[in-house]
Amino acid sequence: MSHSDTQSLDCDLLIVGLGMTGACAALEARARGADVLILERATSGGGTSAMTEGVIYLGGGTRLQRDLGVDDDPDAMYRFMDAICNVSNKAVLRRYCDGSPEHFDWLEAQGVPFTRELYKDKHICPPQGPGLYSSGNEKVWPYREFATPAYRGHLVNGPSGNAGSKMMEVLLKRCEDEGVRVIGDARVLDLTTDAAGRVDGATFRRYGEDHTASARKGVLLATGGFQMNEKMVARDYPFLLENGVPIGEDSSDGSGIEMAQAIGADVESPGAIHATASIYPPGDLVRGIIVNKFGQRFVAEDSYHGRTAAFVFDQPDRKAYLIVDSETFDYPQFSEQFGYALVDGWETVPEMEAGLGVPDGALQRTLDNYNEFAAVGRDPRFGKHPDWLVPLKNGPYAAINLSADVVKYHYHSLGGLRVDEQARVVGANGAPVPGLYAAGSCAASVIQTAKGYGSGMMLGGGSFFGRVAARHCLAAV
């Protein structure tokens, strides 16, 4: 996939960015006979998608779910996501949940590999092998009462911790085989519009020279998130610039969002960011309790790690501690990656209160209350699942620091361009911007709050709506 200087800069569909979203959109468009041109800032494709663990959030009764005996349907998936994802345009979620089973079949048909193996323990992302696991908050109260929990983390069979590289290898090869034209080292500067205000192309700089690519049908922005843009991160999460670690390529700098805004596009959840520093694995640590600097619990400890982090950020001074006793103590498997520190160990709770600087008696009251209910398998305060409830009574006790100024929270953006269920970019005037589409991390799509995030929602939503955009764009004109 190379560029020769004689290559035409005219196409049917122009795509900016060649991560998972751009690749899936291109394949969908080529299947309809369209001439596709992709402008990619890096020398070749892959983007942040190729750096991921390769989890794709899908459900509604996918072939993989059915093959592994997991019950799910689009309505259950919709009820759960509607309750937790903070999406204002319900049609976007409805479309995603209804189309999820077909999308999985399509990914497999492209050659993306998934193993028929279910992983049942609690893990940020299981090592290579299992194809399906629980990657979200489905079992967390009160969401488990909205819909029967289902395993929806569809994990590509690839290198442990980086199966996204295998996923992109497969999709990029398919793009090459299907004749998708790609120009690498192309930094897109601006979107162009015709006399009627319809987006009809983009200007880009390559090796110091400026060019214009024109699109007969439309332009899809698949430019990734804004986590590398310090100004955009600082809007709501300035403290992450001190100690956090952005996840992604340098090109995840919000440029697609900004160039669309320059021609009148609207944004939604513009500051939304998902951060994580998972205390699990091992799952046993979920049996501990998480408290703030006043010794009070504030979240169900069995929440997905990104949800827990979002609640930590809400606490006074963003201070939090994981409290365990001698029966539940272990070191988080990813201690080195996230910079977890054991504060200390103490024989008694009063000593622990003094060591943590918690008000006298506060942590003791929290523990007494928690233990009383845990003994009978209940957590009336936060609804922690009975599977993880055990009284913490066996000293010595230990505390692991989860505070935002200590832990290296890894983060990526969630908010972006406002889009509709056809992946059309919506203008500040409330109407679609003619000819302009966006999907993936530059769009505010199926997940707009870290408190509802589940692994794979960005790859799932991006790949799905990239295809939706291609279909609508080619049919619309």
Average pLDDT, the chain: 95
Whether the per-residue pLDDT at 48 is higher than 90: the answer is yes
Residue 459: Cβ-neighbour burial (10 angstroms; 0-12, 13-18, 19+): buried
pLDDT tens, residue by residue, 199-223: 999 999 999 999 999 999 999 999 9
Predicted confidence at residue 5, as pLDDT, reads 47
Give the residue, 122 or 468, on which the prediction is more confident: 468
Give Cβ neighbours of residue 174 (< 8 Å, ≥ 6 apart): 23, 27, 110, 111
CA angle, corner 264, sides to 269 and 208, nearest 5?
100
- pLDDT tens per residue, range 164-201: 999 999 999 999 999 999 999 999 999 999 999 999 99
Architecture of the structural domain at 1-276+412-477 = 3-Layer(bba) Sandwich (3.50)
Closest alpha carbon to 14 in 172, 151, 188: 188
Q: What confidence score (pLDDT) does residue 336 get? A: 86
pLDDT, tens only, 62-73: 999 999 999 999
Q: In CATH, what is the architecture of 278-401?
A: Alpha-Beta Complex (3.90)
Cβ 288 vs Cβ 322: under 8 Å: yes
Single-letter amino acid, residue 117:
E
Taking residues 152-167, what's their average pLDDT? Answer: 95
3-state secondary structure of 46: coil
Phi, psi of 162 (to 5 degrees): -150, 45
Amino acid at 159: P
- With b for 16 or more beta-carbon neighbours within 10 A and e for fewer, the 375-388 pattern comes to eeeebeebbbbeeb
Q: How far, in Å, CA of 256 to CA of 442, rounded?
A: 7
Backbone angles phi, psi at 272, to 5 degrees: -65, 130
- In the chain, ranges of CATH 3.50.50.60 domains: 1-276+412-477
Residues of the chain with CATH 3.90.700.10: 278-401
- The pTM for the full model equals 0.95
Task: Work out the end-to-end distance of the chain between its first and last CA atoms, rounded to an integer number of angstroms.
Answer: 28
Q: What is the pLDDT of residue 402?
A: 96
CA distance readout (Å), 361 to 170, 355, 368, 369: 58, 13, 10, 12
